[in-house]
Amino acid sequence: MRRTVPLLVAFVALLGVTLAPTDSQAFGHRRGGGGAGTGCGAMATPCNYTVQYVPQTVTRYRQAFTEREIVETVYNQVQKQVPFTYNETVQVMTPQKQVVTTYKAVTREVPYTYNVSVPVMTPVTQKVTSYQCVSREVPYTYNVSVPVVTPQKQVVTNYVPVQKQVPYTYTELVPQTVQKNVTVTSYQCVPQVVTRTVPVCRTVQVPCVDACGRCTYVCQRVTEMQTVSSTVMKSVPVQQQVTVNETICQSVQKQGTRTVVEMVAQQQEVTVNVCSYNTVQKTGTRVVMETVPVVREVTTNVCSYNTVQKTGTRVVCETVPVQQEVTVNVCSYNTVQKQGTRTVCEMVPTQVKRKVQVCQMVPYTETIQVPVCVPVPVTTCETPAPYAPVSGGHGMFRGH
């Protein structure tokens, strides 16, 4: 914008030079009477203009931060003791007389009639059958097995072990060591940086307002996910050729003898005793117990009961109501007004001065070059008079 203003001024000046009339055409007048004069007075030569830069002092503004002292109102919490009135309920015990009905147990004798069963013993003759055990001898026949030993000749086959040498072929494994190239895989530990996200707990201060209206800060634990880098030893497999000794067992057939035991059957005649049993019938006696019934008369006492009515007295307990006057304590409550003090929190305003940074626009002067159109005079035969008429016509342009 600062450079646009000088350029606009220069453009307007050039436009004015272009549209400005010459001395011969000013106000539409001609200098002579003829239409086209000859010589120097026929048409005046116009003046030239040039652009020159002229120094000019301008006022500009820039931002500047200054420190200013301001007065701020800060509210502080102040505790003070304030008296107050409260009601307290006091327990009062008042003795009063009341008539109380109590029940008392009273005993008295009452006649009553009861029945008694009296036992009566009566002798009765009865026939009783009893059983007696009687023993007697009874003949019986029984069989007895008698053993009889008879010698007999029998052919018995016995097996006798006999040893003999038998040739046989066996295979023996002979070890041989052979060198062999094998590929062995070993693992080397290579450090590797691993980036992972782990939860991290930290304590932050959170502003809050308490019951008294104070703005305080409360510490709270916040869990955040942070990216950490750790070095991990990674096992990398490495393969290499290694020459190892390998033991190979080859089969070799050999001949040998071994001792074999064979069971050889041998028959021989022997005499053995053969036991047999013969059945012999015999006769004997045995004692047998028998139960024999015996009937006899016996006299027994039979008990019977006769009912006899009797009269007696018994003690009966009755509950009798008894009224008596007693003194009881009646509890009542009285309201008592008392005075006390309590702590009240008040916010007291306090004027505090502090310094703040204020942004202001500060003026300053600067010298710049401004383009200005300046006319340059031209030397002619005759200096035309200002506004001399050259030809007929009106206005800035020629007439008809």
User: With pLDDT > 90 as the criterion, what percentage of the chain qualifies?
Assistant: 4
pLDDT (average), residues 370-389: 60
In 3D space, the residue among 278, 332, 339 whose CA is nearest the CA of residue 149 turns out to be: 278
The C-alpha torsion from 139 through 145 and 148 to 149, rounded to 10°, is: -140
**pLDDT band at residue 387 using 50, 70 and 90 as cut-offs:** very low
Tell me which residue has tokens 């002292």.
69
Is residue 331 a contact partner of residue 137, using CB atoms and an 8 Å limit? no
Domain residue limits, the chain: 48-376
> Per-residue pLDDT tens for 219-274?
888 888 888 888 888 888 888 888 888 888 888 898 889 899 888 888 888 888 88
| Alpha carbons 325 and 96: distance in angstroms, whole number | 10
> Per-residue pLDDT tens for 128-142?
888 888 888 889 898
Mapped onto helix, strand or coil, the DSSP state of residue 299 is strand
pTM: 0.23
Question: Above 80 in pLDDT, residue 2?
Answer: no
295 compared with 27, residue with greater pLDDT: 295
**pLDDT band at residue 69 using 50, 70 and 90 as cut-offs:** confident
Is residue 116 a contact partner of residue 312, using CB atoms and an 8 Å limit? no
CA distances for 159 relative to 259, 260, 264, 353, angstroms: 18, 15, 5, 133
In 3D space, the residue among 395, 89, 139 whose CA is nearest the CA of residue 285 turns out to be: 139
126's CB contacts (< 8 A; 6+ apart) are: 297, 298, 299, 300
Is residue 382 a contact partner of residue 40, using CB atoms and an 8 Å limit? yes
Question: Above 80 in pLDDT, residue 395?
Answer: no
* Sign of the dihedral through C-alpha 77, 78, 79, 80: negative
In 3D space, the residue among 395, 398, 347 whose CA is nearest the CA of residue 79 turns out to be: 347
Query: What is the CA 17 to chain-centroid distance, rounded?
Result: 89
Task: Return the ∠ at Cα 226 (arms to 223 and 227), rounded to 5°.
Answer: 160
| Alpha carbons 29 and 396: distance in angstroms, whole number | 9
In 3D space, the residue among 157, 127, 149, 106 whose CA is nearest the CA of residue 300 turns out to be: 127
Look up residue 23 and give its two tokens.
Answer: 């001395």
